[in-house]
Amino acid sequence: MTTLRIQVINPNTSLAMTQTIGEAARMVASSGTEILPVCPSHGVPSIEGHFDEAIGAMGVLEQVTLGERAGVDGHIIACFGDPGLLAARELATGPVVGIAEAAMHMATLVATRFSIVTTLPRTVIIAHHLLRQYGFEHHCQAVHSIDLPVLSLEDGTGFAQQKVRERCIQAKAQDNCGAIVLGCGGMANLARELSHELCIPVIDGVSAAVKMVEALLGLGLGTSKQGDLAKPNPKPLTGPYTIFNDPSVM
Ligand code: 2AL
């Protein structure tokens, strides 16, 4: 059986979160799939706003470049803002799937309306922006926050996980939504238990993205190289961006 190699990129530099994401991805991966969890060498420890996303996107592009060079079959962007998604698709030949788009797509297949539970209140606005961008605005009932920073999910106390659980229970009751999408890569390990407890589908984008990339690869589909997603036009980049000048990648 051929082994598929899927690179799961955590765009922040938290090794603990990279591990949580990698474990969640491996839990659902098929036996013939190798999951390669990575994060950038430099950047932000958590992504909670547009500034963080811009820096995280550079880390994504770096890791996609290295992954392409190493011959991986597909890439997952494991941050709910999907930072750098379209730019990453320009660099890649295989599929590149973001966890927000994966979770939203999956949610529309199992419910007519879903709600999202995310981290800090400012990320609620980012989630609404993505819903509009992806065309899922009319599928989303509401976006809620646990009002805690991303790294509270990795502090080992379980407090943030309890807040996620409470917010999901409230969302189900208030919104009468058919499904809940978890709005952070650091929540990846909570979906299965919450689905069971709430008796509605609770969707984690990391696992959703793994199954989507496997499906695309199984169908022999990669990223289109026609039009805007063609490889970037070659030009001499300078300074820290020389990594993108490698002719084998461009
Ligand atoms: C995220 C995420 O998934 N990872 C991160 O660092 N920030 N997004 C979020 N809404 O909290």
> Over the stretch 24-36, which tens digit does the pLDDT of each residue have?
999 999 999 999 9
In the prediction, which pLDDT does 250 show?
A: 43
Q: Establish whether residue 98 lines the binding site of ligand 1, counting it when its CB lies within 6 angstroms of any ligand atom.
A: no
Q: Establish whether residue 46 lines the binding site of ligand 1, counting it when its CB lies within 6 angstroms of any ligand atom.
A: yes
In single-letter form, the type of residue at position 9 comes to I
pTM summary value: 0.97
Q: Establish whether residue 201 lines the binding site of ligand 1, counting it when its CB lies within 6 angstroms of any ligand atom.
A: no
Two tokens, residue 34: 């190798």
Nearest CA to ligand 1 atom 5: 47
Give percent of the chain above pLDDT 70. Answer: 98
22: pLDDT strictly greater than 70:
yes
Q: Find the angle CA(26)-CA(182)-CA(53) to the nearest 5 degrees.
A: 90
Distance 226 CA to ligand 1 centre (A): 31
Q: Establish whether residue 119 lines the binding site of ligand 1, counting it when its CB lies within 6 angstroms of any ligand atom.
A: yes
Distance 83 CA to ligand 1 centre (A): 10
Distance 98 CA to ligand 1 centre (A): 12
Dihedral pair phi/psi, residue 4, rounded to 5°: -90, 135
Instruction: Report which secondary-structure segment, H or E, holds 22.
Output: helix 15-28
Cβ neighbours around 245 below 10 Å, total: 13
Distance 164 CA to ligand 1 centre (A): 14
